[in-house]
């Protein structure tokens, strides 16, 4: 089922996700709904908080259009290490039409559970590392706009306020 993606400045985007105590059938259904929503948008990542579900859960698929899907599920993620820095042009499904340069770690180590509840660790770099950090931020109530300077924040904020239907969110 395709879910509604919250758009900035919806206050629910600032909600910190809660720990997922157990990976249940309902959590696996949420992952399925999130994947369908992300692919329909289209995007490369989606956090549960972006669809109004305050759980520590996000998904990422950075496969190119001509490659098979590489959907990765991160439940209760922890970033263990961040190395080096890279500046990347980031977009966000909660900021439609916005793309801004954001500085992130070039490589990350992450520990999380998969959709079956099994713990795993992953070393990531490039777009995957950036996407993991971007989605992890969402689970902490941190948004892409928070990484921008004052002038860029104002410009993005103004663009989002002028977006059709911008005044109807909670």
Nearest-angstrom CA–CA distance, 93 and 91: 7
Given the residues 18, 121, 135, 169, select the one marked as catalytic. 135
CB contact at 8 A, 91 and 98: yes
Residue 129 token pair: 């590392």
Residues 6+ apart with CB under 8 A from 115: 23, 27, 28, 31, 73, 75
Active-site residue 65, yes or no? no
Catalytic residues: 135
């Amino acid at each position: 089922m395709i879910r509604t993606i919250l758009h900035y400045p919806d206050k629910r985007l600032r909600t910190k996700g809660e720990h997922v105590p157990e990976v249940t059938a309902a959590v696996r259904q949420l992952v399925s709904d999130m994947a369908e929503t992300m692919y329909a948008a289209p995007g490369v990542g989606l956090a549960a908080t972006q669809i109004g579900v305050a759980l520590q859960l996000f998904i990422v698929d950075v496969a190119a259009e001509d490659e098979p899907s590489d959907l990765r599920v991160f439940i209760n993620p922890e970033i263990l290490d961040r190395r080096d820095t890279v500046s990347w042009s980031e977009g966000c499904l909660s900021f439609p039409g916005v793309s801004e340069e954001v500085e992130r770690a070039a490589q990350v180590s992450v520990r999380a559970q998969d959709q079956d509840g099994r713990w795993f660790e992953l070393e990531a770099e490039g777009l995957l590392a950036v996407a993991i950090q971007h989605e992890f931020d969402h689970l902490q109530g941190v948004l892409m706009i928070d990484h921008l300077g004052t002038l860029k924040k104002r410009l993005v904020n103004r663009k989002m306020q002028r977006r059709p239907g911008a005044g109807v969110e909670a």
